[in-house]
Structures are given as structure tokens and as C-alpha cells.
Amino acid sequence: MGVPLARAVVVRRLLAVDGEVALSRLHVRIAAELAGVSERTVWRWLAEGRRGQIEARPRQDGFSLSDALWEVLAQAGGNVAELRRRMLRAQEEGVLEGWGAHGVPSLPTLHRVIKRDLGAGRVLEVARPAGVRAGVEPSPYDRALADLGLVDGAGAPLVVDGPPADVPVPKDAAEAGVRGGGVRLYVPGARLVSTRQVAGVVEAVGHTVAARGMCCVFGDPGMGKSVAVQQAVRLLPGRVPVWRAVAGVAPGLPQLRASLCEALGLPSGALSHRAGPAGQALVRALAEPGVLVVDDAQRLTPPLLDYLRQLWDAPGCAATLVLCGAGSERAVARASALRSRVLTWQQVGRLEPSHVQQTLSLFHRVWAQADPDDIARVDEQMAHGNFRTWAKITSHVHAACERGPARRVDGQLIEQACARLGPYP
């Protein structure tokens, strides 16, 4: 796991660059990302560095947490109040000086010092017993992770939503097939299908949740990322809350805070424009074990991703962060402090040609009698293993069959359906 650069390292390097070439705003922006602070902070560091102050000026009270006390804080799970109680006990026993402290400060002072050290890049490795999550017994997680296999031994797909293939879909239930589990399927009677790609995401997200880590699910548009993430969180134990937030178009920090507050059930209207109270409310909410899924994460700029990183780094955070979206891996890569904390990277790829026929047969009954050669040709020339494209083709094929019930799903009918997709399927 990468560690944000310390102030002294950043300032010395910027001063060196300033002496060689013209220092630009881009230099400062990159330095801010590497240090995990704002650009304004780096400009202030640089101004003080030019006056000879490279290191941060120590506070007048001079109190700081020694490495021994920092380790005690980690053992206490990041609980500052518990750290102070342990310090008081150590003072009574006469061993406090062995921890590098001569007295016990107030609780607000401890909070301030710890927040300052975290902001300066000091890493808090919270100690937790292996396999144990606060508030959730390990046995349900062990069972859930053991049941994550959603493909058979040969890697073939399985139906994960909807009736069996031989059960007709009633006309009055047709609308239910247009959306399955919140995912647009484009055609009545369609069902969600778990492919090998979906099973891979389920396993990756399940591992990340068990480790309280951070996950990035990425891939080209239409590959089924949202379906896969949705299926992954559905398999978690019922007591684990799942919060879903969608990044808006060109969002600012107030919009991101509003989305997070709404997802977490907080009063977004009252908090989104109040940075301090909103941040405190989000930190308190994320102290509960759960899963925060941020869809369309590729829309987030590095400062917004760094805001998520700060929430996730807050002492006591027990939540898992899942970032999902086409191009989300590139967006996360631009936020180096967040990128270094991603535990799992999971790419969702195309359907394998050998599994397209079986997957489509499970997806909708209209493909049951289609010629596998016709399907293989369309996949090679048009769909290219993209599930969303196949869903749209299925919609047009189904509509043609509804207009002429006697029509057979042959190559000509499939080509007519593909022609409806235009030049950009």
C-alpha cells in the first residue's frame, strides 16, 4: 500500500524543480495528489519553504504521538477515547513514559493531533482479528464467500433471476422483464444471467468486503459491470447494509456529498453545502460495517476521489468502497493516493464466443431454436461479446416474432434486427 509523500519531501522537490525550470500549476497539482492534500496547502508549503521553513512548524504545546502510542491507537481499532483510557491506565501504572509521553492530554487534543498526523500522511494500520468484522459474525461471511461460485464446473452461465426456461412468461408480467433487478433488459420475458465475468466480479467483491477494502470494477460499456456488482452485493449476508450512490455528470464536491448523504440515508439538503457537518455525518455513517457502491465513478475528478479516500481513511471507518464504471480505472489511476489503497481491480470482459449461444438461450426463450451458426456470425460481426448489444438485438428479434408468431428466428430475421441498431450498436 502506497503512503502519501511527507511535506518535507514535496517541498524540497518543488524547490529543486523551481530552480531548474519554471514551476507550473501542474507541478503543484501532481505534488498535491502525491501528498494527499489540496493544491492550496501545497502552495502554502512552497511559500513557507522559500522562507526557509521546510518542515511543518511544531505546535506550541509540543504534544505529538510517539510510534508506541500510534501502535496503541492501531491496537484500539482507531478508537481515540480508548487510546486515552489506556494512556490513563499506563500513567497510573507508571509506564506512560515508556510510550514516549509525559502526560495525558485532553480528548480534543488527541483528536486534533491524530487528525493532523493523518493529514500529513501518517498511516494507521488498524489491527483486527483475522476474518472478524465488527458487528458481523465471521460464520455468515465464511458461508457467503464459500457460496460465491455462480458458474458450473465448465464455466457455463447460470440463470440468477427469473423463472426457469420452460416456464412461459404471462402477458401481464411482460413489463417486469424490461427491467430485472434495476437493470434495463430491453425485452419482456428476459432474465438476468450469471456468466463467468459476473462470477469473477462476485468473487472479487466478496473478498474485498470481507477484508473491508476498496475495489474498482471496470470494463467497456455494456459488459455487465452494474449487473455483476449488483449480484455480488445481493449475495452478502442480509444484515450487511449496501449503500448505492451514482456520480452525477461533472459533479462538484457539494453534489458528491449530496449523493453520498442520500445513499446513506442522511439529510442531503441540509448537509450537502456544509462541509464540516456533512463530513462528520458521513464519517459516523461509514463507521458501520457496510458496502458503499459508487457507480459511474469515471465521472469523479481526482479531488473528489481524494475526498472519498479521506472518508475511507477516517479512524473507525468499517465500510467497503466499490467503485464501478466504464473507464473508472483510468479515473482512479489519476488519483494516486486513492489508487494505492485499492485492494482489488476487477475487469469485466466480453462474452466468450463458446458461451454466447447458451447465455442467450438462458437470457430469453426467443433464442431457443436459433441456429448457433447464425448467432456466432452476428457475434463476430456485430455484437463482439457485448451483452448490452445482444439485449438490444433480442428486443428487435422478439418484436418481430410478436408481429409474426409463425416467423422462425433465422439468419434473415436476425440480420433485420441488427439493422435496427444503426452504425453504432
Per-residue pLDDT tens, the chain, 425 aa: give them.
Answer: 344 567 777 788 888 888 777 788 888 888 877 777 788 888 888 888 888 877 766 554 467 788 788 888 878 877 888 888 888 988 888 888 888 888 888 888 888 888 877 766 566 665 444 333 343 344 444 444 344 433 444 445 555 554 443 434 444 444 444 555 456 677 888 887 778 888 888 888 988 988 889 999 999 998 889 888 988 888 887 678 899 998 888 888 888 888 898 888 887 665 655 667 788 889 898 998 899 999 999 999 999 999 999 999 988 898 999 999 999 999 999 999 999 999 999 999 898 888 888 888 888 888 988 898 999 999 898 888 888 899 899 989 988 888 887 788 888 888 888 888 887 76
Bridge partners, 243 (sequence order): 292
200 and 216 co-located in one domain: yes
**pLDDT score, position 274:** 66
Question: 242 with 272, same domain?
Answer: yes
How many degrees, rounded to 5, is the angle at CA 157 between CA 294 and CA 293? Answer: 10
Q: Identify whether residues 180 and 46 lie together within a single domain.
A: no
Locate 206 and state its grid cell.
466478496
Cα–chain center distance at 21:
38
User: Cβ distance 336 to 286 under 8 Å?
Assistant: no
Write the CB contacts of 246 (distance below 8 Å, at least 6 apart in sequence).
259, 294, 295, 296
User: Does 133 map to a domain?
Assistant: no
Domain identity same for 342 and 268 = yes
Q: What are the DSSP calls for 226-246, one per residue?
A: HHHHHHHHHTS-TTS-EEEEE
Residue 294, pLDDT score: 95
Q: H helices of 122-190, where?
A: 138-146
Same domain (yes/no): 291, 355: no
Contacts of 309 (CB under 8 A, 6+ apart): 36, 335, 337, 338, 341
Q: Which of 223, 228, 219 is nearest to 199 (CA)?
A: 228
Using one digit for the tens of pLDDT, what is the confidence trace for 307-330? 999 999 988 898 999 999 999 999
Question: What is the domain range of residue 269?
Answer: 196-347
Q: For residue 24, is it within any domain?
A: yes
214 beta partners: 321
Amino acid, single-letter form, for residue 70: W
Phi, psi of 39 (to 5 degrees): -65, -40
On whether both 237 and 362 belong to a single domain, the answer is no
Query: Does 339 share its domain with 200?
Result: yes
- The answer to whether 77 touches 128, Cβ cutoff 8 Å, is yes
**Residue 249 CA, distance from chain mean position:** 18
Flag whether 235 is in a domain: yes
Length of the chain: 425
Locate 193 and state its grid cell: 444471467
Beta strands in 102-241 (DSSP E): 158-159, 179-180, 183-184, 193-194, 214-218
In angstroms and rounded to an integer, the radius of gyration of the C-alpha atoms of the chain is: 27
Residue 24 is predicted with a pLDDT of: 83
pTM beyond cutoff 0.75: no
- 137 falls within a domain: no
Q: Are residues 201 and 319 in the same domain?
A: yes
Residue 105 lies in a domain: yes
Co-location of 217 and 340 in the same domain: yes
Report which DSSP code applies to 173.
G
Whether residue 141 is contained in a domain is answered as: no
Residues 338 and 401 in one domain: no
Q: How distant, in Å, are the alpha carbons of 74, 134, 207 from that of 145?
A: 27, 17, 7
CB-CB contact of 68 with 98 (8 Å): yes
Q: Which of 347, 369, 389 is the last residue of a domain?
A: 347
Do 205 and 228 have their domain in common?
yes
- Grid cell listed for 248: 452525477
Confidence (pLDDT) at 270: 58
CA nearest to 34, candidates 342, 328, 341, 335: 335
Residue 149 lies in a domain: no
Do residues 334 and 203 both lie within one domain? yes
Decide if 152 is inside a domain. Answer: no
DSSP-derived 3-state class of residue 364: coil
* Cα–Cα distance measured from residue 123 to residue 36, given in angstroms and rounded to the nearest whole number: 12
Neighbours of 353 (CB within 10 A): 13
Total count of domains within the chain = 4
Helix, strand or coil, per DSSP, at residue 319: strand
Which residue, 99, 95, 36, 106, is CA-closest to 65?
Answer: 99
Give the whole-angstrom CA distance, residue 30 versus residue 328.
19
How far is it, in rounded angstroms, from Cα 323 to Cα 259?
14
